[in-house]
Amino acid sequence: MKLKNDNNSYELFLTLGILYSLENTELIKAESYSGKYTDLYNNCQPFLRLINENVLAKIYKNNLSKMELSHNSKEIMSLKNKNFLYFNSITKIITFYTKNKRTKAIFDRLVNNYSNYNTDIDLVSENEQVKYFNDYLKYYYIQIKTK
């Protein structure tokens, strides 16, 4: 499968995983994951047009639960340690996605399982889905017709 060997899609998977983790641990206050996901989806990024958003969120949530980011309340209450804890948590998140060999295996399982692809007829018609796949295979990007 082309997505499995697509470095751009893999990097996007990693980047969105980092943003999901930062947003859902409240290490940053902005809607970084949801905002970036929407921007990239609307810009017709093939990976996001093809893979179901709920499946991605479930994977990222599961990954976040494995990161052991919890700290005891005494550490959190100390302002001096708070910045270090934020830095330490952010470092753990980035390391999990960039240095962990298991993330490539997770990505491979994601793209190799067709049930992870968008098949919601309300979201995308079957003809549009076929067109997305063909556009991706031929051009790497998805062409959207405008009225």
Query: In whole angstroms, what is the distance from residue 34 CA to residue 38 CA?
Result: 6
Most confident of 1-10, 25-34, 73-82, 90-99: 90-99
In a domain, 147, yes or no: no
Our count of domains for the chain comes to 1
Query: CB under 8 Å to 117, separation ≥6 — which residues?
Result: 50, 51, 52, 129
The pTM score is: 0.78
Segment (H or E) for 136: helix 126-139
In a domain, 146, yes or no: no
In a domain, 144, yes or no: no
Count of helices and strands (H, E) across the chain: 8, 0
In a domain, 44, yes or no: yes
92 within 8 A of 68, measured Cβ to Cβ: yes
Range of the domain at 118: 3-137
- Dmax (CA) for the chain in angstroms is 59
In a domain, 7, yes or no: yes
How do residues 16-44 score in pLDDT, each as one tens digit? 999 999 888 877 767 788 889 888 887 77
In a domain, 145, yes or no: no
Q: How far is CA 84 from the centre of its chain?
A: 26
